[in-house]
């Protein structure tokens, strides 16, 4: 299913929307407008290779919904990139932003290349050329469309994008806000790197905090001693694992594309990651058992399974063998539609991607705000708060005759750093959205959190379109 051309992520997303719409009273015309991609831009450009030969590269940018502007979404560099995939991911971005109440429309971009086949110089040329094609057609800008990193791209590419944009728009004072996920030196934001993983952690923590839901699954509330399997130890998988482990959960299996590790004693995430960075594989890692065919690991017994790699990892073929009680979709679209029906029939709680991995876009939103205001969060009020707390602590000490020890004193007086404020905003966003979604699921008496998430999202988009009216 994963690699054939007939599969359309976009059609899958539309069918989720149709499922949700059955529980709503929506005008069919409005539903049609919500589902469609508003703008699709496909283009080709040449690059000159080292040996003097040429290659024609395919690029895409899709803006799915203009109910809120700018639109927002990542750029992926991958040979799997095609129009249907970019359309589908762009639609998911729309519903994801609406679901967690971030005021962006959805977009997505892609370049059909295998980034591993190019050196840094060539990737820079491809990225800058891709950006200039977007600029020409006004498909990028702080008020229009704001890209971000995705599969195959990172902070480095975002720095090239912002530099290219500034070269073409020297008078634009908000130019830095044309893209997010930038390095800190280019006015990125503290906490962006770990944002998605942190969001996944918060979402799962909230899910296991609801007593009646856990009772139905035969689990205790809280993360302590929960057994966890994660597929993918990239950025998202790594930070998810790290935070869950710090919260008392036990990561017992990690699967990567070239093998996995199984260890019921619990895996030391940092040490495994260091080994992987050095050896490009888990094979030979001293602890636990190396599993050659890592896809099997997802079928091992655990409390929570977290697919944090690519789409279509749990299909109708392997879904019947999944033993987890909860599945947290950290990746985009890791469970096919047929597979999800099977999982729900087995009473597995599926926490959907459009909610669970929204930490990235949430913190991207904070980065965009930071760039528009051109001041880092906390800079203005930090010292003022510290003085106020210091005065408060002194007053308490004087009134009681007791003294705080230095550690207590420091932790009370500390002003919030940019990272503290980012994490606070991220937590607020994820916590509120989970309970909104779970409540909607219960109100509508449905099993699927995904359908509940789509109902919430579609409702917000519908209100936005209706209030906006149609031009002219």
CA dist 120 → 53, 153, 375 (Å):
18, 12, 31
Cα 33 from Cα 64, distance rounded (Å): 10
Q: Is 108 a catalytic residue?
A: yes
Cα 102 from Cα 94, distance rounded (Å): 10
Cα 104 from Cα 98, distance rounded (Å): 8
- b/e per residue, 425-454, with b = 16+ CB within 10 A? bbbebbeebbebbbebbeeeebbbbbbbbb
Residue partners of 345: CB distance under 8 A and separation at least 6 = none
Q: Closest Cα partner for 206 from 466, 373, 34, 434?
A: 434
- State residue 212 phi and psi, 5-degree precision: -65, -30
- State residue 441 phi and psi, 5-degree precision: -60, -40
Binding site members: 72, 96, 196, 235, 364
Which tokens is 13 given? 């997303």
Give 401: exposed, middle or buried? Use CB within 10 Å, 0-12, 13-18, 19+: exposed
Q: Which of 35, 42, 58, 108 is catalytic?
A: 108
Cα 293 from Cα 255, distance rounded (Å): 9
Active site residues: 108
């Amino acid at each position: 299913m994963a690699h054939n051309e007939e599969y359309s992520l976009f059609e899958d997303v539309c069918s989720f929307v149709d499922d949700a719409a059955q529980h709503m009273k929506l005008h069919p015309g409005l539903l049609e407008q919500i589902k469609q991609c508003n703008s699709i831009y496909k283009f080709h450009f040449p690059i000159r290779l080292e040996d003097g030969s040429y290659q024609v590269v395919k690029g895409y940018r899709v803006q799915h919904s203009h109910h809120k502007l700018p639109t927002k979404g990542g750029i992926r560099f991958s040979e799997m990139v095609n129009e249907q995939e970019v359309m589908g991911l762009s639609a998911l971005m729309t519903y994801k932003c609406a679901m967690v109440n971030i005021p962006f429309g959805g977009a997505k971009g892609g370049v059909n290349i295998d980034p591993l086949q190019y050196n840094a110089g060539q990737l820079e040329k491809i990225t800058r050329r891709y950006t200039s094609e977007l600029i020409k057609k006004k498909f990028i800008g702080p008020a229009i469309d704001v890209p971000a990193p995705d599969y195959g791209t990172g902070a480095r590419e975002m720095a090239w994008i912002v530099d290219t944009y500034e070269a073409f728009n020297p008078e634009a004072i908000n130019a830095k806000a044309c893209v997010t996920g930038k390095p800190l030196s280019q006015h990125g934001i503290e906490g962006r790197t770990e944002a998605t993983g942190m969001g996944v952690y918060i979402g799962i923590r909230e899910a296991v905090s609801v007593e009646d839901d856990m009772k139905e699954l035969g689990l205790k509330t809280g993360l302590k001693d929960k057994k966890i399997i994660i597929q993918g130890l990239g950025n998202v998988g790594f930070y998810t694992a790290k935070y869950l482990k710090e919260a008392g959960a036990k990561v017992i299996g990690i699967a990567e594309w070239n093998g996995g590790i199984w260890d019921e004693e619990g895996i030391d995430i940092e040490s495994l990651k260091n080994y992987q960075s050095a050896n490009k594989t888990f094979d030979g890692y001293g602890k636990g058992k190396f599993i050659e065919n890592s896809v099997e690991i997802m079928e091992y017994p655990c409390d929570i399974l977290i697919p944090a790699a690519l789409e279509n990892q749990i299909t109708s073929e392997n879904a019947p063998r999944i033993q987890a009680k909860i599945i947290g979709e950290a990746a985009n679209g890791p469970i096919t539609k047929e597979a999800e029906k099977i999982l729900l029939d087995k009473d597995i709680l599926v926490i959907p991607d459009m909610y669970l991995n929204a930490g990235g876009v949430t913190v991207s939103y904070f980065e965009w705000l930071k760039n528009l205001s051109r001041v880092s969060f906390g800079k203005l009020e930090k010292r003022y708060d510290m003085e106020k707390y210091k005065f408060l602590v002194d007053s308490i000490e004087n009134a009681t005759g007791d003294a705080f020890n230095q550690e207590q004193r420091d932790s009370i007086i500390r002003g919030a750093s940019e990272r503290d404020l980012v994490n606070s905003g991220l937590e607020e966003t994820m916590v509120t959205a989970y309970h909104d979604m779970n409540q909607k699921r219960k109100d509508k008496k449905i099993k699927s959190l995904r359908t509940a998430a789509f109902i919430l999202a579609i409702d917000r988009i519908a209100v936005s379109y209706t209030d906006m009216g149609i031009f002219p």
